[in-house]
């Protein structure tokens, strides 16, 4: 008996994983073609010295392609790092407080600067915990919203900007936020934060899960950090796009005493992202994804992202008593769509039956349960349509 739902080519599954996530098929095919013998050089990129001329060209091309695709200004450095978004929780804090710009501001104030944190879900919560652990002085600008039903804080919406508790710009080193929360399915509208922050305060944004899904005005940020494994490539590399004035240091030996080299943006910037062996193969694949994104165009990728998510959200909204959406419609993620079903048993049945039809990785995050469908750049519109067809059939069979 044939499957009633359309299936991807090459016996592949519909991979709705939140990360590592689906990659463009054309990229995988190019990797497969060149895996044993990269462009006739007699070896795989997996085997290639990072100091070779061939690999130097690979990493330089990856950087140049990303710079073109995102229209990154010349006064920003692009760094290929390790440690994921988690590493950048510490790196952002340590590097900003090592920068001459922030240190001069702190000396003028005569006391430690604070740093503003918008807490809108699990990942920004972790970022806040890290800066506290390192001895920072965080100011919590936003901490979810108060639930009218339970009276407890939840991460299902974002308070109006007029209710934000932004610090005094003269006493603030930077503002940090995560634009798209993969666990809770909350995504802040573009420019919402930077429009609210005084221009003198650098904004540091974690874009791990929505990078390359739409155009970004890079020059409005002090730094953008992003793990690659959602929209940009395999796990193992982290991208940091950093305004160069934030990389300037003074001669005080205390500046980097507590800044490990592996987290030091200047250490990587001064060595072209290769002070030591980088994740060579991951960067190579990322470079191919950057080329794919450049060819698609960020405007087209944004249109596709909106079309995919609308298909699913329309079905959720059509049956709100069955598909229980958790997130305020104004802040629903275009990348990670979360909902519950009336019972945990139905949720388990939904995930199991979907897997029987080759739709995988739909179980919600372990902290929240429910259902989560991740629709990253490489997911074709057919994947979303197939999932919605399954939702309709499941509803017809199980609603009361």
State the catalytic residues: 123, 206, 230
Give φ, ψ of 332 to 5 degrees.
Answer: -70, 135
Crossing angle for the helix pair 280-296 and 53-70, nearest 10 degrees?
A: 40
Cα(346)–Cα(340) distance, integer angstroms = 9
CA angle 12, 13, 14 (to 5 degrees): 130
Q: Is the peptide bond before 20 cis (omega within 30 degrees of 0)?
A: yes
Query: Which among 395, 19, 47, 30 is positioned nearest to 232, based on CA atoms?
Result: 19
Pairing status of strand 336-340 against strand 324-325: antiparallel
Rounded-to-5 percentages of helix, strand, coil across the chain: 45, 15, 40
187, 333 in Cβ contact below 8 A?
yes
73, 81 in Cβ contact below 8 A?
no
- Label residues 329-343 b or e (16+ Cβ within 10 Å = b): eebbbbbbbbbbbee
Pairing status of strand 324-325 against strand 223-227: unpaired
Task: Please list, in sequence order, all residues whose beta carbon lies within 8 angstroms of the beta carbon of residue 278, skipping any fewer than 6 positions away.
Answer: 50, 59, 80, 82, 237
CA 132 to chain centre: 22
Cα(28)–Cα(12) distance, integer angstroms = 12
């Amino acid at each position: 008996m044939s499957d009633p739902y359309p299936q991807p080519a090459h016996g592949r599954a519909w991979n709705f994983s939140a990360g590592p996530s689906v990659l463009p098929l054309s990229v995988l095919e190019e990797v497969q073609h060149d895996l044993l013998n990269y462009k006739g050089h007699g070896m795989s990129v997996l085997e290639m010295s990072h100091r070779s001329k061939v690999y130097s060209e690979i990493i330089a091309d990856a950087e140049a392609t990303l710079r073109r695709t995102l229209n990154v200004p010349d006064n920003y450095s692009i760094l290929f790092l390790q440690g994921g978004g988690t590493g950048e929780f510490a790196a952002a804090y340590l590097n900003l407080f090592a920068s001459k710009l922030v240190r001069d501001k702190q000396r003028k104030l005569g006391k430690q600067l604070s740093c503003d944190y918008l807490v809108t879900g699990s990942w920004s919560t972790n970022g806040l915990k890290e800066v506290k652990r390192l001895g920072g002085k965080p100011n919590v600008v936003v901490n979810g919203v108060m639930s009218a039903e339970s009276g407890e804080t939840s991460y299902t919406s974002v308070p109006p900007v007029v209710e934000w508790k932004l610090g005094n710009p003269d006493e603030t080193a930077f503002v940090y936020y995560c634009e798209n929360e993969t666990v809770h399915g909350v995504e802040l509208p573009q420019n919402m934060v930077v429009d609210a922050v005084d221009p003198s305060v650098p904004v540091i944004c974690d874009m791990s899960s929505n990078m390359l899904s739409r155009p970004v005005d890079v020059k409005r940020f002090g730094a953008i950090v992003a793990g690659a494994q959602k929209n940009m490539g395999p796990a193992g590399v982290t991208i940091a796009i950093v305004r160069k004035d934030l990389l300037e240091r003074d001669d005080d030996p205390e500046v980097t005493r507590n800044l490990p080299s592996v987290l030091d943006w200047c250490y990587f910037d001064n060595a072209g992202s290769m002070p030591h062996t980088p994740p060579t193969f991951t960067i190579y694949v990322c470079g191919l994804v950057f080329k794919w994104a450049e060819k698609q165009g960020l405007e087209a990728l944004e249109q596709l992202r909106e079309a995919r998510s609308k298909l699913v959200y329309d079905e959720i909204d059509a049956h709100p008593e069955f598909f229980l959406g958790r997130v305020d419609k104004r802040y629903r993620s275009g990348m990670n769509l979360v909902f519950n079903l009336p019972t945990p048993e139905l949720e388990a049945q939904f995930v199991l039956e979907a897997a029987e039809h080759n739709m995988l990785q739909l179980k919600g995050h372990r902290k929240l349960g429910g259902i989560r469908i991740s629709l990253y750049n490489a997911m074709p519109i057919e994947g979303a349509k197939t999932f919605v067809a399954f939702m309709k059939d499941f509803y017809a069979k199980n609603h009361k």
